Amino acid sequence: MTTTSYDTVAYPTAMFPQTHPDRLALIAQLHGLTAAAPERARVLEIGGGDGFNLIALAAAFPQAQFVSFDLSAAAVARGQALAAASGMANICIEQADIMDYVAAAAPGSFDYIIAHGVYAWVPGPVQQAVMALAGKALAPDGLFFVSYNALPGGHIRRVMREMLLDALADVHGIEARIAAARAFLENHARPREGDDSVVSAMRAQSVAMLSRPDAVLFHDELGEVFSPQSLADTAAAATAVGLEFLNDSGRNRLGDGFLPDGAAAQGPVPTEAIVQAAQRDDYAAMRFFRQSLFTRAGRNPGRTPALDVLRGCHAAGQFQLGDNGAIQCGETTFALRDHGLQDWLLQLGSGWPAHRPVAEIADPADRLDGLFELFKLGLLHLSTAPPPFTLGSSAHPLASPLVRAQIALGHPAVTTLHFEQMQLPDPAARGLLARLDGQADHAELAQVWAALPHDPALQLADALALIAAQRLLRA
């Protein structure tokens, strides 16, 4: 296999909530389509690096099957080591070239296919292979997620990239190029008298680039290929392999796959019209990034939200009472006239991270509109099934196998069953978690706890409760 730049400079390990099969399934259901239950799904990630995105999912869904492949031998080796340490049999991380994978893939073999951070960073033939693989391997009711630098915003990033590469033309060596790139961007980011709107937008891009880790700057901005795509062209490429645009999975982008608020469908709505409207919105907003979701062509997705599906969902959110009776969630403040819905949201907040059935508050039906708006904004977490974690402690507590592997390998951060990373420096917590394999009872764990360095006032039951509250125990 060819050595890649990712073998030399490791790309940061990360999870991508927008690719979560549960989110994708709910989007499909909102369009009136069926989708495979995430807890039993077959999931493929194209160019998944070390596979960490799927490793985290595999820990949450032990009955599902996950496959990630990448060309980088170093990245794949890191992922394989973590997967092996976890003992999970439902995750496979392979080294493979996508050009070869297309021929080897079985037709209809995956319910969810993910291509995150790949499509706009590879040459045209590889882009075609990404689409060909999705067109071949996607199940009849499957969903294909693909993210990419989008146009027209990509034009600004392309100009910035050309300026950056020109400035670094005589700079060689990875560390030297990264340092020179940061020096150039810091200088370019400073506003000058007489800047017009275009120059100001480019300076804003310098600021954004400076915020990225060195490895991301090296690969995303200084890499060999930078090929932003329009939504229209991406949808056309998907159409050519038998796929159809469904929606965008990004935060506050779920309106892109539906008719505008208040518009009623007079018969089937052509997907081409949906794509055209979203593309025009991209031009108006100078959009930089897309996270597009596709399904098999001919499924006739509804273009007004089927909000009744929310009745079967489970919800969680960090809502609290703000000033003047408003609700606060993060940096967002909003007011509701529906006091019953407001009380329920505040109960969600006080019980965080517990999930509650939406059915509790689904009537009257117009409340579903409000819940959908909160979901679109990323303020309300909705899932199609109960969460995979428990907030209590069983007779034989079972911690996520991924968490136990991360502790065994000395990782400073661990991964929750709510698809988040958290730092865990406390040695006592780490020592206790390492023994929560579902075999030890509380009497055995009490002996483990007694031998660990901890505050004597903190009892085993308290420690287990704290661990559970971080969503580290399997349901």
Chain segment 37-91, per-residue pLDDT in tens: 999 999 999 999 999 999 999 999 999 999 999 999 999 999 999 999 999 999 9
Once rounded to an integer, what is the mean pLDDT over residues 338-347? 96
pLDDT of residue 262: 66
Amino acid at 461: A
Supply the mean pLDDT for the chain.
Answer: 95
Once rounded to an integer, what is the mean pLDDT over residues 117-123? 95
Residue 397 has pLDDT above 60, yes or no: yes
The 3-class SS string of 414-428 reads EECCCCCEEECCCHH
Q: With bands split at pLDDT 50, 70 and 90, how would you rate the model's confidence at 2?
A: low
pLDDT of residue 255: 94
Once rounded to an integer, what is the mean pLDDT over residues 187-191? 96
- Hey, CA dihedral for 98, 101, 107, 108, is it positive or negative? negative
Please list, in sequence order, all residues whose beta carbon lies within 8 angstroms of the beta carbon of residue 255, skipping any fewer than 6 positions away: 261, 376
CA torsion 108-112-117-118 (nearest 10°) is 0
Nearest of 88, 82, 21, 17 to residue 49 by alpha carbon:
82
Once rounded to an integer, what is the mean pLDDT over residues 436-457? 95
pLDDT of residue 13: 84
Q: What is the pLDDT of residues 276-293, one digit of tens each?
A: 999 999 999 999 999 999
Amino acid at 252: N
3-state secondary structure of 124: helix
Percent of the chain scoring above 90 in pLDDT: 93
Q: 134 is written with which tokens?
A: 């999705």
- Hey, CA dihedral for 44, 45, 50, 56, is it positive or negative? negative
Q: What is the pLDDT of residues 197-230, one digit of tens each?
A: 989 999 999 999 999 999 999 999 999 999 999 9
Distance (Å, whole) CA 382 – CA 326:
22
Q: What is the DSSP string of 362-387?
A: --STTHHHHHHHHHHTT-SEEESS--
Question: Cβ(427)–Cβ(407) under 8 Å?
Answer: no
What's the Cα-to-Cα distance from 189 to each of 171, 183, 207, 209, rounded to whole Å?
20, 10, 6, 10
Contacts for 157-165 with beta carbons within 8 Å, 24 or more apart?
A: 157/205, 157/226, 157/228, 157/288, 158/226, 158/228, 159/202, 160/202, 160/205, 160/206, 160/209, 160/221, 161/221, 161/222, 161/226, 163/188, 164/221, 164/222, 165/222
| Cα Rg, the chain, nearest whole Å | 24
Triad 350, 353, 359: Cα angle to 5°: 80
Q: Are strands 356-357 and 314-316 parallel, antiparallel or unpaired?
A: antiparallel
Nearest of 47, 78, 83, 85 to residue 65 by alpha carbon:
83
pLDDT of residue 268: 81
Please list, in sequence order, all residues whose beta carbon lies within 8 angstroms of the beta carbon of residue 277, skipping any fewer than 6 positions away: 260
Question: Cβ(68)–Cβ(92) under 8 Å?
Answer: yes
Element containing residue 188 per DSSP (H, E):
helix 174-188
Once rounded to an integer, what is the mean pLDDT over residues 394-419? 97
Percent of the chain scoring above 70 in pLDDT: 99
pLDDT of residue 18: 97
Neighbours of 173 (CB within 10 A): 9
Please list, in sequence order, all residues whose beta carbon lies within 8 angstroms of the beta carbon of residue 102, skipping any fewer than 6 positions away: 129, 132, 133, 136
Q: With bands split at pLDDT 50, 70 and 90, how would you rate the model's confidence at 265?
A: low
Once rounded to an integer, what is the mean pLDDT over residues 13-33? 96
Q: Are strands 110-115 and 138-149 parallel, antiparallel or unpaired?
A: parallel
pLDDT of residue 1: 54
Q: What is the pLDDT of residues 363-389, one digit of tens each?
A: 999 999 999 999 999 999 999 999 999
Residue bearing tokens 């080294």: 95
pLDDT of residue 415: 97
Distance (Å, whole) CA 279 – CA 282:
5
Nearest of 458, 450, 442 to residue 395 by alpha carbon:
442
pLDDT of residue 4: 86
Phi, psi of 55 (to 5 degrees): -60, -40
